[in-house]
Structure 1
Amino acid sequence: MTRTSLGALMLTVVIPSAALSQNVTELEEINVVAEDADGVVEGYIATNTLSGSKTGTALVRLDQTVNVVPADQIEDQGAQSVAEALRYTPGVFTEYRGTSNLHDETYIRGFGYAPRFVDGLAFGRNSFGQMAPWLLERVEVIKGPASVLYGQANPGGIINLATKRPTGDSVRRGR
């Protein structure tokens, strides 16, 4: 085994100052803004998800179906519950007892009482209760057997509710 000293690995490059002053092109600044995997979505189309793999991943890189309903879409629909926000999500059947339902019970791909999670944590074992959709930044639905990523769940899928993060701005909601 031979040892190499650090001095033998260093390489010194000498560039004449005349070469530096020739053909210098100044480039404009480029700002790259990426969507947070659980943050604000500009418009209706999300590009990243935190639910699909529990890491920030682009939707096109996932092998399972993940539908994202962003806050803009929830607001434009006038949804008063998570079930109403999921009305137009393919493979999700909501409000099967009518609009007088007091709970967000959903069927995903034919399997009833889809488990709900809030920021990746279980919302409860039963289907009771609702969460006001104006508290949410996005509602994500993971379909199929990939739902076992969150533990014991039905094979239809799960619902993950991503809450809004504090911004420092005062926001009020009136009825």
Structure 2
Amino acid sequence: MSIQNNQKLSFTQSFEEILEAVQPMITAILTQLHIYKDFDYFRHIASIAVWRAWLKADSAKGQFSAYLYSSIKGEILNELSKEKNYRERMTVVDDETMNYILSEQEERDNQKNSNSLEMMLAELKQIERKILLLYYVEGYSDLEIANALDLSVVAIKKRRARIIQRLKHQLFRVE
């Protein structure tokens, strides 16, 4: 790959001079690799490659321009490979689809919790279900429940507390 105005690149030049001199090389590599979008991004990747090559350059290992060329092209190819792998693994989902997926998941979770709670309530003794029904659904006070079931108020409070504790324990153990 030729350098602008047939300039020779040397290890003694500043990074800025080398970067300026290799701009045509970078453009040629980008064209050769059919990069027509995100041009500035890949130019930036190429500039980083020039910087790294400039830092690592060793005159004993050969021609500097060939090293620059392979470094630039290699970095761009690595970036293209990363992008390809990313696109293969990622799926872009629009907001409407994402909201649908989330609502379906939430509905399944609610159904699962509802089914779990129904199963747990079915395992309760009839008197335990009656206490919960009267207190939480019918809105009875502890005294009214005690009178309806012929138990003491203290017994109703203790039973309800134990039932709720057991249900909480089962519910959180299931999840």
Shared fold (TM-score greater than 0.5)? no
Larger Rg: 1 or 2? 2
* TM-score using structure 1 length: 0.23
* TM-score using structure 2 length: 0.23
Higher-strand-fraction structure:
1
